[in-house]
Chain A
Amino acid sequence: SAVISQKPSRDICQRGTSLTIQCQVDSQVTMMFWYRQQPGQSLTLIATANQGSEATYESGFVIDKFPISRPNLTFSTLTVSNMSPEDSSIYLCSVVSLYEQYFGPGTRLTVT
């Protein structure tokens, strides 16, 4: 299994600012995934982050808005840039370990 922690657990931010979310895994993993869950919705993949290479973004998500870092095999960050109220969501980090997908506890972001 994999244990994932995220910081912060929640935050309230002003429009136009940026927030960086940290994800730490207790084991080395090749790929880390970042998901967004908007209020009342299911999860949507933002991007896949491999160590040592640029993240791969899904349709509708761009690097300028959601820059991702992956400095090593246990850590990643997702930045939500120039935030607007539409960015209010839960952001979740995820990894695969032994075929099974694991998720962090999520970061609840509210943009005012």
Chain B
Amino acid sequence: KQEVTQIPAALSVPEGENLVLNCSFTDSAIYNLQWFRQDPGKGLTSLLLIQSSQREQTSGRLNASLDKSSGRSTLYIAASQPGDSATYLCAVKETSYDKVIFGPGTSLSVIP
């Protein structure tokens, strides 16, 4: 059974710092991996999608990497801003028609 974990559970950094969020999954046979952002009391915003054949994806200050063999993904946020404060969720999809399985999330606080 696929399980997804995220480290750290919470992170507080001063504005301007670069940071890394970690995601691990137990079964490397995944279809894709997606990073989401959730603001308090709100829905989810998709940040980056990495297909199983890809190693990384970039969007602006965000870079996500995928190492299927080790069951790991990282989300790198460059030059963090207070507006980046949110919960970041990692989710894996095992087949094209399957559900996504979520990690518990990392709560990020960027201090001005």
Contact = CB atoms under 8 A, between A and B. Distances in A.
Interface stretch (A14-22, A62-70, A99-107): A99-107
Interface of B: 32, 34, 36, 41-44, 46, 49, 51, 89, 91, 93, 96-97, 99-100, 102-105
Contacts of A42: 89, 102-105
19 contacts: A33-B99, A41-B104, A42-B89, A42-B102, A43-B44, A43-B89, A43-B91, A43-B102, A90-B43, A92-B43, A94-B100, A99-B49, A99-B96, A101-B46, A101-B93, A102-B46, A103-B36, A105-B42, A106-B42
Given A43-B44, A99-B32, A100-B49, 10 more contacts: A41-B104, A42-B89, A42-B105, A92-B44, A100-B46, A101-B91, A101-B93, A102-B46, A103-B46, A104-B43
Nearest to A98: B49
Nearest to B41: A108
Nearest to B97: A31
B10 to A, nearest CB: 12
A103 B42 CA distance: 10
A103 B44 contact: yes
Nearest to A106: B43
Contacts of B36: 103
Contacts of A101: 34, 46, 91, 93, 100
